[in-house]
Structure 1
């Protein structure tokens, strides 16, 4: 209990210090209006118990995780005795959750700020029988409220990046015993399972399922005619398209430089940039005005159709899967120094788009290791080797086709996490009645 009281005491002053930054972020994104009360635990209705029903609360932080848990949500609602509460942290995740899951979820809310009065009110009004958290969503107050209510808490698709594990080990003295509050950890790899055990989770509560992201069903598959039509409408034409997938600051400039060199060999090639955060559009616009004034650049938020162009910036939410299919080669963002975590390479792999990424992919370590081992992706250590690899693959269609074939084999070999995960939580769902 000592840790949770320390956490409660330091939460308020830290939250006050971060409030200006948080409010600025709200203003920049422009889509948080009306949600603050929900995050404070007061903008939600009391949800009385339903006789004969078991209430499952699923928390997934953002858009990516909301997509990943679809299979698990649909498996859960196959049981007529289950009612679902879904929460998410980001505005993009909330919009997608409302769009995709309103018919199968009984309630969809923003996740409350992890401060005792807010979380306690949330729990008193919603009264779950089982809590399932996705990936890294281990909020101390949320965990404590589950323990106070005698409600099991399960982490699915659990992972600890190199950076998270480094800091977690340093703080184990403080919250190692708090990890005992987890009823089960279902990790994506043996390496991640070992890390959770090292952090204090009993080994008999930890198992490996594989990655739920590899069992995702992608509905927005385009046929060749649809790809060609969309390419033309967006001004990309039918030449080679280089994709910057979920790029971070500095990576757009690097890709622009590589793109310029590539055009000397492939004059008709195009650059498609999909920044990780759409609110960076003004920053990217300034960069292009300074470094690409001789090229035709457009932003997708301005229109859905364009005359032929050189560079398209897709500054819109929720379209990466479709736009990925228009590319011939992808660079996975947040992987070049100083970034170390990486964005997901999984969609490219499942869609058969050849890809390269930098050395910083710690958030997807096991996935990348599997891809590299099977020749389904290429990892580079620096910008010079990245430039060389992109130019080589751009000029070698046979090599790209070979990589696509290897991606298909990797995808088939990597499936099965959904079945293993559901088997591991089924007992909690069945026996998780009111405590």
Structure 2
């Protein structure tokens, strides 16, 4: 009954959804392109009866990269279709895999759209990630006898009550998965509470630990190294959100009193914010150079704005200290394992709810620096400036932090192969 109501409501809202998409495309034209795919009209040349892997956006695409690469090897007899929801995720898929995979947007979770999508692709298996639970698509795939696998499943303690309020819809959806592979035992327990079958839900580890430095990253890193100065300390703000830049730029003003030669690099999380971030930097009266100019960073440049896609991993290895964006508000943070792969010291705010288990492991081994929640912003700015300055001035302490974080990465790898093994079993049934 809940699914029927859900379908009916979304079907009635379809005109409004399309209108909102068109309105959003005024400022973000990418949302207007390939609108047919969101309605379920998949390119005719796509080969059916393969494996569909859904990665919502850039972060998920990067986390699934080793898994997708292994699928291309182990399941060469099947076409591999990678779907995303965001244009930035789409660009990342095309950049990483080109024509090695079929790529399109996942359709809106509305009955006619998902019906057209499934009828065209007729997938043997559908792989979803983390909390990507699309009730209508999952139900229709089950009826079509498609094997369903959820990888890297996670539900935080913070979000569990919200999902429980939708249990009439979420619980049947989780039960339809043939296998649910969670990031950890705690996540597996929470997923079972939400409705996943105890016999088909288990922990396989976190795919985000299986980071690798491929040739594409090394090639980008070499190019970026030629643009960056080799005689200046570098502080990087990774995956910044609204509010992060103001905090970091205010702290940077203090840092420059002790480290006048320090270069700040800012990598916004969303490309639609590039121009706005450039304005914020200008308002703080710092000289800014944009990555898109593809010019060598001058000695006069104080802030380098990375207004490009898919280069965060490459620039991480060229910095001295990394601060993760989205950790000073209610965003929940971003993947601290990426700088850990390069043995870089990482500073975060008090909100790492998206990476609770990862954060706890890093914290327990002394592989991350956490700033507490302060009652006033000035105290936070001062504390951040002091931490960054201390780490840059004490390279041995910074190195110890980075090496401890790298140990956590090495100790937890292997989730990709475990997920591949389960998918193999499902396809052989």
TM norm structure 2 = 0.91
User: Match for residue 147 of structure 2?
Assistant: 152
**Alpha carbons of 1:176 and 1:94: their partners in 2 closer, same or farther (altered >3 Å)?**
same
User: Match for residue 305 of structure 2?
Assistant: 313
Identify the match of residue 114 of structure 2 among 90, 94, 119: 119
User: Match for residue 428 of structure 1?
Assistant: 426
Residue 237 of structure 1: how far off its partner (Å): 4.8
Contact in 2 for aligned 1:247/1:276 (Cα 8 Å): yes
SS in 2 for 1:57: strand
User: Match for residue 393 of structure 1?
Assistant: 391
Identify the match of residue 323 of structure 1 among 298, 315, 321: 315
User: Match for residue 162 of structure 2?
Assistant: 167
**Following the alignment from structure 1 to structure 2, what is the Cα–Cα distance between the partners of residues 60 and 5?**
26
User: Match for residue 354 of structure 1?
Assistant: 345
Contact in 2 for aligned 1:56/1:429 (Cα 8 Å): no
**Following the alignment from structure 1 to structure 2, what is the Cα–Cα distance between the partners of residues 20 and 195?**
36
Contact in 2 for aligned 1:340/1:359 (Cα 8 Å): no
Contact in 2 for aligned 1:335/1:361 (Cα 8 Å): yes
Contact in 2 for aligned 1:74/1:104 (Cα 8 Å): no
Indicate whether 1:243 and 2:236 are aligned.
yes
User: Match for residue 328 of structure 2?
Assistant: 336
Bigger shift: 148-157 or 242-251? 148-157
Residue 427 of structure 1: how far off its partner (Å): 0.7
Residue 232 of structure 1: how far off its partner (Å): 6.0
Could you say what the CA RMSD is over the residues aligned between the two structures, in angstroms? 2.3
Deviations 1:197-222 (A, max 9, x none): 01011111111111111112122565
Contact in 2 for aligned 1:324/1:348 (Cα 8 Å): yes
**Following the alignment from structure 1 to structure 2, what is the Cα–Cα distance between the partners of residues 99 and 310?**
30
Deviations 1:315-365 (A, max 9, x none): 11111111112210011011102x241111121111111101111111111
Contact in 2 for aligned 1:239/1:268 (Cα 8 Å): yes
**Following the alignment from structure 1 to structure 2, what is the Cα–Cα distance between the partners of residues 379 and 185?**
32
Residue 231 of structure 1: how far off its partner (Å): 4.8
**Alpha carbons of 1:373 and 1:57: their partners in 2 closer, same or farther (altered >3 Å)?**
same
User: Match for residue 186 of structure 1?
Assistant: 181
Residue 48 of structure 1: how far off its partner (Å): 6.9
Indicate whether 1:282 and 2:282 are aligned.
no
**Following the alignment from structure 2 to structure 1, what is the Cα–Cα distance between the partners of residues 96 and 275?**
30
Residue 153 of structure 1: how far off its partner (Å): 0.9
Bigger shift: 324-333 or 419-428? 419-428
Identify the match of residue 416 of structure 2 among 415, 418, 425: 418
**Alpha carbons of 1:231 and 1:81: their partners in 2 closer, same or farther (altered >3 Å)?**
closer
**Following the alignment from structure 1 to structure 2, what is the Cα–Cα distance between the partners of residues 118 and 87?**
14
Residue 272 of structure 1: how far off its partner (Å): 0.6
Residue 117 of structure 1: how far off its partner (Å): 0.5
Identify the match of residue 267 of structure 1 among 260, 264, 282: 260
Contact in 1 for aligned 2:208/2:337 (Cα 8 Å): yes
**Alpha carbons of 1:311 and 1:237: their partners in 2 closer, same or farther (altered >3 Å)?**
farther
Residue 241 of structure 1: how far off its partner (Å): 0.9
User: Match for residue 200 of structure 1?
Assistant: 195
**Following the alignment from structure 1 to structure 2, what is the Cα–Cα distance between the partners of residues 290 and 72?**
43
Consecutive unaligned residues of structure 2, counting only runs of 5 or more, are 374-379
Residue 281 of structure 1: how far off its partner (Å): 2.2
**Following the alignment from structure 2 to structure 1, what is the Cα–Cα distance between the partners of residues 119 and 224?**
49
Q: How does 1:86-105 map to 2 (within 5 A)?
A: 86-105=82-101
Contact in 2 for aligned 1:213/1:346 (Cα 8 Å): yes
User: Match for residue 7 of structure 2?
Assistant: 8
Residue 146 of structure 1: how far off its partner (Å): 1.0
**Following the alignment from structure 1 to structure 2, what is the Cα–Cα distance between the partners of residues 348 and 284?**
22
**Following the alignment from structure 1 to structure 2, what is the Cα–Cα distance between the partners of residues 203 and 313?**
47
User: Match for residue 45 of structure 1?
Assistant: 44
**Alpha carbons of 1:48 and 1:213: their partners in 2 closer, same or farther (altered >3 Å)?**
closer
**Following the alignment from structure 1 to structure 2, what is the Cα–Cα distance between the partners of residues 264 and 15?**
55
Contact in 2 for aligned 1:161/1:341 (Cα 8 Å): no
SS in 1 for 2:205: coil
SS in 1 for 2:79: strand
Identify the match of residue 110 of structure 1 among 105, 108, 132: 105
Consecutive unaligned residues of structure 1, counting only runs of 5 or more, are none
Moved over 6 A (4+): none
User: Match for residue 376 of structure 2?
Assistant: none
Contact in 2 for aligned 1:334/1:340 (Cα 8 Å): yes
**Following the alignment from structure 1 to structure 2, what is the Cα–Cα distance between the partners of residues 359 and 151?**
41
**Alpha carbons of 1:162 and 1:286: their partners in 2 closer, same or farther (altered >3 Å)?**
farther
Deviations 1:244-264 (A, max 9, x none): 000111110111111111111
